[in-house]
Chain A
Amino acid sequence: MLSPFIAKLSEIYPDARLLTHDAGLVSYESDGLTAFREKPIAVVLPESADEVIRTVRCCFDSHVPFVARGNGTSLSGGSLPVKNGIVISMNRMNRILRLDPVQRLAVVEPGVINLNVTKAAASHGLLYAPDPSSQSVCTIGGNIAFNSGGAHCLKYGMTSNHVLGLKIVLPNGTVDTLGGESLESIHPDYVGMFVGSEGLFGIALEITLRLIPKPEVYRTVMCAYRSLKAAGDAVSKIIASGLLPGAMEIMDNLSIQAAEAAVHPGYPLDAAGLLIVELEGEASQVDEEFKRLHGLIEASNPYFFKEAKDAFERQQIWKGRKSAFSAVGRLSPDFIVQDGVVPRGRLGEALEEIQRLSKQHGIRVANVFHAGDGNLHPLILYDGKQKGALHHAELLAAEIIELCIRFGGSITGEHGVGMEKRTYLPKMYQPSDMESMFQVRRAIDPTNIANPGKMLMDGDAPALTTSGMHPLEKAGVISRE
Chain B
Amino acid sequence: MNSLVAPDTKVNERICELQELVRTSRKLHIVGSKSKDGFHHSSDGATTISTPSLSGVVSYDPLEFVVTLLGGTRVLEVVELLEKHGQYLPFDPLLVDRGATIGGTVASNAAGPGRFRFGGIRDFLLGIRFIDGRGNCIRGGGQVVKNAAGFDYPKLMVGSRGTLGLLYEMTFKVFPKPESYATIVATFSKLDEAVASMNKLASSPLDIEAIELIPIEMGSRGYELAIRIGGIASALMNRLNRLQKFVPVSMLLQDHDDWRYWRAATNLEWARDKGSLVKLPITPNAIAAMDKQCSKLLIDRRYSVGGNVAWIATVWNDQWSQQLGDAQTFLGPLPIEDNGYPRELGPFGRAIKYALDPESKFI
Contacts and interface: CB of A to CB of B under 8 A. Distances in A.
Contact present between A and B (CB < 8 A): yes
Interface of A: 101-105, 124-126, 146-147, 149, 153, 155-158, 160-161, 168, 170, 174, 176-178, 180-197, 201, 213-216, 236, 239-240, 242-244, 281-282, 284-285, 287-289, 292, 341-345, 370, 373-375, 408-417, 421, 425, 428-430, 432-433, 435-437, 439-440, 442-444, 455, 464, 466-469, 473-476, 479-481
Nearest to A196: B152
Chain A interface secondary structure, helix, strand, loop or mixed?
A: loop
Given A104-B203, A412-B149, A444-B351, A185 B109 contact: yes
A186 B145 contact: no
8 shortest A-B CB distances, which residue pairs? A192-B155, A242-B176, A216-B205, A182-B281, A443-B355, A476-B9, A186-B328, A183-B308
Contacts, number: 296
A103 B86 CA distance: 33
B158 A188 contact: yes
Contacts of A192: 122, 152, 154-156, 158
B257 interface: no
Contact of B348 (A170, A195, A416, A417): A170
Contact of B139 (A103, A180, A429, A467): A429
B347 interface: yes
Contacts of A455: 150
A410 B156 contact: no
Given A101-B203, A170-B347, A188-B156, A410 B146 contact: yes
B92 interface: no
B15 A184 contact: no
Contact of B115 (A183, A195, A201, A415): A183
Contacts of B116: 183
Interface stretch (B129-137, B185-193, B315-323): B129-137
Contact of B148 (A157, A216, A413, A443): A413
A254 B282 CA distance: 50
A467 B134 contact: yes
Interface in B331-363: 343, 346-349, 351-352, 354-356
Given A193-B151, A437-B150, A174 B136 contact: no
A197 B151 CA distance: 6
A243 B176 contact: yes
Given A435-B136, A474-B16, A239 B63 contact: yes
A164 to B, nearest CB: 9
Contacts of A125: 203, 205
Contacts of B157: 188-189
B143 interface: yes
A344 B145 contact: yes
Contacts of A284: 235, 238-239, 242
B160 interface: yes
A341 B149 CA distance: 10
B43 interface: no
A295 B184 CA distance: 32
Given A103-B285, A236-B63, A177 B146 contact: no
B268 interface: no
B284 to A, nearest CB: 5
Contacts of B239: 282, 284-285
Contacts of B8: 476
Nearest to B279: A186
A439 B148 contact: no
A240 B122 contact: no
Contacts of A464: 136
B309 interface: yes
Contacts of A430: 139
Contacts of A341: 142, 144-147
Contact of B147 (A177, A181, A412): A412
A288 B64 contact: no
B111 interface: yes
Given A176-B346, A186-B159, A343 B123 contact: no
B176 A184 contact: no
B118 interface: yes
Given A425-B150, A437-B150, A475-B12, 6 more contacts: A155-B118, A161-B123, A244-B176, A341-B146, A410-B148, A443-B351
B175 interface: yes
Q: Which one of A160, A187, A288, A417 has the greatest number of beta carbons of chain B within 10 Å? A: A187
Q: Which one of B8, B119, B148 has the greatest number of beta carbons of chain A within 10 Å? A: B148
B238 A433 contact: no
Contacts of B280: 186
25 contacts: A102-B285, A156-B119, A168-B348, A183-B116, A184-B309, A188-B349, A189-B122, A189-B157, A190-B349, A193-B156, A197-B152, A242-B176, A341-B146, A341-B147, A345-B61, A370-B146, A374-B146, A375-B146, A413-B147, A413-B148, A415-B148, A428-B142, A429-B150, A435-B136, A443-B354
Contacts of A468: 16, 19, 135-137
B109 to A, nearest CB: 7
B346 A177 contact: yes
B305 A186 contact: no
A94 B234 CA distance: 46
B204 A183 contact: no
A476 B159 CA distance: 31
Contacts of A183: 115-116, 120, 281, 305-306, 308-309
B347 to A, nearest CB: 5
A185 B231 contact: no
B142 A410 contact: yes
A187 B339 CA distance: 13
B147 A469 contact: no
A480 B118 CA distance: 32
A126 B207 CA distance: 13
B346 A178 contact: yes
B109 A184 contact: yes
Contacts of A479: 7
